[in-house]
Amino acid sequence: MATPLFHDGLTVHTQNHDYPIVITEKTTTEKDASATITMAEQVAPYISGQQVLIVTNETVAPLYLQPLQKQLAEQFTVRVCVLPDGEQYKNQASINQIYDELMAQHFNRDVTLIALGGGVVGDMTGFAAASFMRGVNFIQIPTTLLSQVDSSVGGKTGINHPQGKNMIGAFWQPQMVLADMSTLQTLPARELSAGLAEVIKYALIMDVNFLTWLEHNLPAMMALDLAILGEAVKRCCEHKAAVVAQDEREAGLRALLNFGHTFGHVIETHEGYGNWLHGEAIAAGMVQAAELSQKMGWLSVNEVVRIKRVLALANLPTTPPPIAVQTALDLMGHDKKVKNGQIRLILLKSLGQAVLTNDFDDQLLTDVLSQHTS
């Protein structure tokens, strides 16, 4: 018996406005008898004004752009900006491509930008929306698992700098998020695994029962059971929405969502953006954070083994590339969580309980980093 279609959603509450996350397997790009509603019909009520710019990339555009553009053009003036695909293009040059299209079309403050793609497209579109004419509306249509469970929700937008990841950006909330599970059917297996890293992250930092659920359901998720994937996306978005409602601009609690990211961003920056996928780097970074937590007496050796096992089950790396200790420490010094010159890390007090702290022995951090220098 086939798994039934999935359709659910929730609301994100922020200081400026509330917005829905629609999680569904029922939308399609084409109108047909089996589709409840198309992508265009889902997002149209959240478009203000008559001007729309769809921002996508060269990989996603052939899959979903044409029908979305055609259907929206029945109601709105629609233009398109197609960016090159890859983390290495998450930079000022790509942002300028978006600005150039907006300026060329004489679009104004009534424009709505639609991010059609993964986390890179979403982050850049959101940053362009936050900064064009000091702020215009945008909508997220995330087409990767990583962006559906994490980057499309919560309003973090930005670009990379050669010396550090996501160092330039703004908090800017979307009008709505449409997470269509059917888009995951065109996602390469490596990209699906990269998204699973962020799913596993939520279990490790705040929901140990979810970790057990994942240990049972990861095989089905990797086999593209869309209903199971939809349930995982919903659980992750529920956790993130709750955190964002309490700490929209990462004054404290929200920083916990960056578990593994300080280590992971070192990997991404050192290896060159795009050579390690974000989720792959975060997976190895979570292992390093767990190893430091174990050295501090908070996790047992068996719990670290369990973390490595679930990451391996998702076909994710559990060992970082060799990076000299001082190089890693220098790159960590550019992390946004550094405060008063001190590196702050998200560590695990226990499985399901994370903490942001600078109260750790520097030698223990050095020991963890030195384990993987060759």
Catalytic residue among 234, 254, 270, 372: 254
Does the active-site annotation cover 239? no
Catalytic residue among 198, 248, 268, 280: 198
Structure tokens at 306: 């369990």
Does the active-site annotation cover 250? yes
Catalytic residue among 240, 270, 295, 308: 240
Catalytic residue among 201, 235, 239, 261: 261
Does the active-site annotation cover 258? yes
Does the active-site annotation cover 261? yes
Does the active-site annotation cover 134? yes
Catalytic residue among 258, 268, 295, 372: 258
Cα(205)–Cα(224) distance, rounded to whole angstroms?
A: 25
For the chain, strand residue ranges (E) read 7-13, 18-24, 27-28, 37-38, 51-57, 77-83, 112-117, 137-142, 156-161, 164-171, 177-180, 345-350, 353-357
Does the active-site annotation cover 79? no
Catalytic residue among 165, 235, 239, 278: 278
Q: Which three-class secondary structure state does DSSP give residue 55?
A: strand
**Pick from 32, 236, 93, 71: which is nearest to 152 by CA?**
236
Cα(265)–Cα(125) distance, rounded to whole angstroms?
A: 21
Catalytic residue among 265, 270, 295, 344: 265
Catalytic residue among 250, 268, 280, 291: 250
Judge contact between 240 and 150, C-beta under 8 A: yes
Cα(211)–Cα(76) distance, rounded to whole angstroms?
A: 44
The 8-class DSSP code of residue 357 comes to E
Does the active-site annotation cover 254? yes
Cα(197)–Cα(138) distance, rounded to whole angstroms?
A: 26
Largest CA distance in the chain: 63
Q: Which residues are catalytic?
A: 134, 156, 198, 240, 250, 254, 258, 261, 265, 278
